[in-house]
Amino acid sequence: MEFFLNGGTALTEDELAAVGDVHGRRVLQLACSVGDEALMFAQRGAAVTAVDIAPAHLMTGRAKAEALGVDVAFIEQDMTRLDPEITGFDVIYISWGGICWVPDITEWMQLVADRLNPGGVLVISEHHPLWEILTVRGENALSVNGDYFDNGRDGYADPLKAPQITQTIGTPDVPHRSFVWSISSIVTGVLAAGLTLRSLQEYAESEMYPGLGEQAMHIPGTYLLTASR
């Protein structure tokens, strides 16, 4: 709370640039969790709708919004089946650990594209799919624990990452089944939905590969994609 009250932001400079000026714009955050980013958009003057499937997370988000005195519509929704009235957005945003819950990227991209206003932007700031399938075994040692080319075929539960993810999400009622969406499947989904790809960046994030050493800076940890309707 102190962080937010002192003007802190849950977004990086590049994410802020991708989203653009949100003042007076309608923003939808998907898989918003406890709402940190949604609150930040609201603090910057956006009309924000934030959806998540976990009621406990939404309650936390609402409590934070009340304490901060900002208005965010926290709505319990499955982001793969949004109600028809959740539409007409200038920005749709999803980040960190959201896309891995989508079982069909083509269908989902179309659903998202349909909820954007003409000229509206989709911003995805996510864990890199390569990171999803790699596990650090020691300095400069990685093992492959998933299939980069799975593209939603089976989904998987990494035995090393799953307990950590379940702990983070804290919702045993949402079964953990991750889907790996390769960069090419994401781009293809964007284009198939009729969106225009504006930018795609990949970033090294050494803290995502703890114990790997310097080599962590030579592989991608995250990506940031912007597309417009």
Ligand X SMILES: C[S@@+](CC[C@H](N)C(=O)[O-])C[C@H]1O[C@@H](n2cnc3c(N)ncnc32)[C@H](O)[C@@H]1O
CB of 202 to ligand X, least distance (A): 18
Residue 36 vs 150, nearer CB to ligand X: 36
φ/ψ of residue 105, rounded to 5: -70, -30
Sorted by sequence, the CB contacts under 8 Å of residue 48 that are 6+ apart come out as 27, 28, 29, 38, 41, 42, 71, 72, 73
φ/ψ of residue 46, rounded to 5: -85, 155
Among 106, 171, 206, 215, binds ligand X (CB under 6 A): 171
Task: Please give the residues from 48 up to 77 whose contact with ligand X meets the rule CB under 6 A.
Answer: 51-54, 57
SS3 content of the chain, % helix, strand, coil (to 5): 35, 25, 40
Could you give the CA distance from residue 9 to residue 21 in angstroms, rounded to a whole number? 14
User: With binding defined as CB under 6 A, does residue 36 bind ligand X?
Assistant: yes
SS3 label, residue 71: coil
Among 21, 66, 71, 78, binds ligand X (CB under 6 A): 78
Per-residue contact track with ligand X, 1 to 20, x per CB under 6 A? --------------------
CB of 213 to ligand X, least distance (A): 26
User: With binding defined as CB under 6 A, does residue 99 bind ligand X?
Assistant: no
* CB contact burial 69-93 (16+ within 10 A = b; e otherwise): ebebebbebebeebeeebeebbbbb
Task: Please choose, out of 129-137, 166-174, 203-211, 217-225, the segment that lies near ligand X by the rule CB under 6 A.
Answer: 166-174
- In the complex, the residues that contact ligand X under the rule CB under 6 A are 31, 33, 36-37, 51-54, 57, 78-80, 95-98, 101, 168-169, 171, 174
